[in-house]
Structure 1
């Protein structure tokens, strides 16, 4: 069912500091940077060498984990699948609650979320 690692999304408490760390200190390449004015949120897409990405988000006054979904720290882990609807059906048949399928406003790709047994948000992202 899973094909590859796609991205890790991180909500930071200080966008400028985190951006400088990931870009300047770690040397990740910026793929896209967008201010989502309606949410007072930055979204920075960074390429991970060898494949995969980090999505760095900012939100006004994010609460510390464990609240969800717009909290400081790890937001979710995403896995690439060939067909989100089929993967969702497989998970639901196994008794896993899966959110409705949505479409990424930036890429047009379909995705959905579910949780691991400890409540960690996981995403299925269509290849």
Structure 2
């Protein structure tokens, strides 16, 4: 039987400060802006951002969104992982913006290297090296 799911199309993120998060995902992480709209009836921005492989992030702003616990090990989405070809290069790039990464670890099952960092709302993000 062929898989029913073809892959991940997008991940939706509600941010506390739209301009800060838009800058982070677009200018720092390098996601391309596909579309951006202000939805007046919802007092909300929606920005569609695309990675090189076509995966998208939908970035939303809402007035006074409730906080959601994400650490430590809260139930629900644990983290969002990005594939990278050169882990050190991305860590160095993030350091240029004063974004700290955790120490690099190695996945004991795949032998791939990875690290974690956070977005402006403290959402846990992972860099997973896919080429070694």
TM-score after normalising by structure 2: 0.49
Task: Indicate if the aligned counterparts of 2:10 and 2:55 stay in contact, CA closer than 8 A.
Answer: yes
Aligned partner of 2:31 among 24, 28, 31: 28
Q: How many residues align?
A: 68
Cα displacement string for residues 52-98 of structure 1 (whole angstroms, at most 9, x for unaligned residues): 100000000100126xxxxxxx7xx9xxxxxxxxxxxxxxxxxxxxx
Structure 2 CA distance for aligned equivalents of residues 51 and 28 of structure 1? 10
Aligned to 2:8: 5
Tell me the C-alpha RMSD between the 2 structures: 1.7
Deviation at 1:7, TM superposition (A): 0.3
Which residue matches 1:80? none
- Aligned equivalent of 1:89: none
Provide the C-alpha distance between the structure 2 equivalents of 1:44 and 1:56, rounded to a whole number of angstroms. Answer: 5
Alignment of 1:23-102 (within 5 A): 23-65=26-68
Q: Residue 15 of structure 1 is aligned with which of 18, 23, 31?
A: 18
More strand by share: 1
List alignment gaps of at least 5 residues for structure 2.
70-76, 81-132
**Runs of 4+ in structure 1 displaced over 2 angstroms?**
none
TM-score normalised by structure 1 residue count: 0.51
List runs of 5+ in structure 1 lacking aligned partners: 67-73, 78-127
Larger Rg: 2
